[in-house]
A and B are shown apart, each in its own frame.
Chain A
Amino acid sequence: MTPPEDPVEEHWVDPEIIRPYVVTRGRTRPAHGRFDLISMALAVGPLPGPDAGLDPEHLRILQLCREPKSVAEIAAHLNLPAGTIRVLLGDLFDRELVSAQEPQSEVDMRDVRMYRAVLDGLRSL
């Protein structure tokens, strides 16, 4: 019989902090792509089967991204930090299961058409 563990030792880390690292197997940066909070992702092709070697979190992202979703939205729905989602999205991007976007390079803040489109959209809410 093993002696009872020191409760302080046992709880020295918060499981809520550990989970994101388990999900990414310790990785903190995506292999490819630079996703910020509003980078949009969209699933490409049919949902892979259980033999595809994907984790449940990968599959949940693919299900969620049948419609375009941002990193922030995926993070909120999966209840994982945005940094974890960036890593998982990088995996999916590598396997060509999502198309993704880098918004900061996308939006030109001098583009009059963008402002018109945003104003039109807001007015028609």
Chain B
Amino acid sequence: MVFGRSERPRLPTAIKILIAGGFGAGKTTMVGAVSETRPLRTEEVLTDRGIGVDDISAVEAKRTTTVAMDFGRITLSNDYVLYLFGTPGQERFWFVWDELAEGALGAVILADTRRLADCFPSVDYFERRGTPFVVAVNCFEGAQTFELDEVRMALQLDPSIPIVMCDARKRDSSREVLITLVKHSARLRAEPVGT
């Protein structure tokens, strides 16, 4: 729905993809590599009322807390704009993920093979939520000591979930990861498209 005084200006449709993974897995790097500008940062100020009861201890005396998200924009055409959001790393901010994940096309989970366990929570989260996701193993220099099959086994990934190698610093490599995700999401939710 487009509303406002006039039908003249055409607003593009905004689509979002989440870039998840553990701290230091390369989320902001990937957002920056493939976006048309350097990563931007947006902040949500939240009062402790917005935080789960169990988490109040984490904010202690502070009555409000700020959650920062890095994001980037890719203008796909006059009709579509794609936004990539790096998910806040700390687990206590998962309630922000719910808002982010709502209406998302899907998620890329960046895995760092040196700290593979860091992406378990992301895998669990998107599996539970039913959000389409792919796992991208970020190949840090000298860190490629795992085969993709080993990573798949370690993460107990369903065979239907794509897992790819990538270099989050490289535009082409990051773009290929996004294409893999969009195809996967289309397979799950729409008719098969393209090749």
Contacts and interface: CB of A to CB of B under 8 A. Distances in A.
Interface of A: 16-17, 20, 36-42, 44-45, 68, 70, 72-73, 75-77, 81-84, 93, 96, 98-107, 109-112, 114-123, 125
Contact of B179 (A40, A99, A123): A123
**Looking at chain B, what size class is its interface with the partner chain?**
35 or more
B2 interface: yes
A37 B82 contact: no
Most-contacted residue by chain B among A16, A112, A119 (CB, 10 A): A119
A57 to B, nearest CB: 15
25 contacts: A20-B45, A36-B102, A38-B16, A42-B11, A70-B14, A70-B81, A72-B42, A72-B69, A75-B43, A76-B71, A83-B45, A84-B45, A93-B4, A99-B2, A99-B3, A102-B1, A103-B103, A104-B102, A106-B1, A109-B189, A114-B190, A118-B80, A118-B105, A120-B76, A122-B182
B193 interface: yes
Given A72-B71, A98-B4, A103 B13 contact: yes
Main secondary structure of the interface of A (DSSP, over half): helix
Nearest to B67: A81
